[in-house]
Amino acid sequence: MYYNFTNSLLYSTVRIECQEGNSTSTGTGFFYKFHFEDTVVPVIVTNKHVVEGYSKGKLIFNIGDKNANKPEGQKAVNLDDFNMNWILHPEEDVDLCIFPFSYIANQLLKDEGLEIFFRAIDKNFIPSSEMIETLIPREDILVVGYPNGIWDEFNNLPILRDGITATHYMYDYNGHKKFLIDASIFPGSSGSPVYIYNQNFIDNKGNTSIGTERLLFIGIVYAVYNHTASGKIEIQSPTNQGLSVSTRVPINLGLVIKSEKMLDFEPKLKELLPKS
């Protein structure tokens, strides 16, 4: 049951809670695996702005049964020096960071006999250049995360939201490795993975696929366009930072970093691997 695409997506994210003094925020992280020859490095991915400036953080994991075949409970892990645990994307203007969490998983297993239950994607889900050429301007998408900090707290599950691509994925929005989506993006959505997901679809050559499940990891939410009371259009980072009074109105246009930017982390991670 837990290995088909839709069920796996329920266990592909982790809720991130941050605190610095009286300031708190929530964001979305998701699981991703890097492969280096015989070594697999699982990480949590989110935006830089989600964790920057927060010395305390909490990650809420699902815990598997004794065979790690299905979820059976949850575990909150509190971390000090939280913002120092993340590897930042090498480009300053790319709002991504990763957190290798194997030591947490190993410690939980050693100390408490608990095994983290998660489903991770990898670069095989990132569309190739050949695949991108088959995409049409309007693709159905799925966004997984914690909008406004909302989640199924009892089952530790995220919220799934539908939308469409608002700019053609084939092109780089305003010359950057980004694109727009037409979907409701709210505080807490920062770091949410964005997928093209459907079972019946038509490519740009008119070829029809019926009953074929398609899942492509195409990007990570990092900001949203807002309309202010004065009529100005602004870009805002959608982190949930507690109660506030605001005159900004979302216009349901989210800004998304293309998933291919995940590959830029590979050289840095490879450097950190133990030398054989």
Q: What is the pLDDT of residue 3?
A: 46
First-to-last alpha carbon distance for the chain, in angstroms, is 38
- Which phi and psi (to 5°) does residue 96 adopt? -140, 150
Strand pairing category for 71-80 and 13-20: unpaired
Cα gap 18→161, rounded to integer Å = 24
Residue that has been written with the tokens 């598997």 in this structure: 64
Q: Which helix (H) or strand (E) holds 107?
A: helix 102-112
User: Is the pLDDT assigned to residue 231 strictly greater than 60?
Assistant: no
| Cβ(180)–Cβ(167) below 8 Å | yes
The CA radius of gyration of the chain, in Å to the nearest whole number, is: 19
User: Is the pLDDT assigned to residue 242 strictly greater than 80?
Assistant: no
Between 121-125, 179-183, 194-198, 236-240, the lowest mean confidence (pLDDT) is in 236-240
Distance of CA 224 to the CA centre of its chain: 15
pLDDT digits (tens, 9 = 90+) for 41-86: 999 999 999 999 999 999 999 999 877 678 999 999 999 999 999 9
Of the CATH numbers 1.25.10, 2.60.40, 2.40.10, 2.40.160, which one belongs to the domain with range 5-122? 2.40.10
The DSSP call for residue 276 is -
Residue that has been written with the tokens 């575990």 in this structure: 75
Q: What is the pLDDT of residue 125?
A: 96
> pLDDT tier at 173 (50, 70, 90 boundaries)?
very high
- Higher-scoring residue by pLDDT: 227, 13: 13
pLDDT digits (tens, 9 = 90+) for 194-216: 999 987 666 666 565 655 678 99
User: Is the pLDDT assigned to residue 240 strictly greater than 60?
Assistant: no
Distance of CA 4 to the CA centre of its chain: 19
- Identical fold at 5-122 and 124-261? yes
Q: What is the pLDDT of residue 243?
A: 41
% of the chain with per-residue pLDDT over 70: 83
- Which of 125-158 are b and which e, b meaning 16 or more Cβ less than 10 Å from the residue's Cβ? bbbeeeebeebeeebbbbbbbbbebebeeeebbb
Average pLDDT score over residue span 184-199: 87
Q: What is the pLDDT of residue 203?
A: 65
Cα gap 144→185, rounded to integer Å = 11
Cα gap 74→85, rounded to integer Å = 22
Cα gap 19→242, rounded to integer Å = 11
* Residue ranges covered by each domain of the chain: 5-122, 124-261
The DSSP call for residue 208 is E
Strand pairing category for 140-145 and 193-198: antiparallel
Cα gap 221→97, rounded to integer Å = 13
Task: Given CATH 2.40.10.10, say whether it is the number of domain 124-261.
Answer: yes
Q: Which helix (H) or strand (E) holds 40?
A: strand 39-46
Q: What is the pLDDT of residue 193?
A: 97
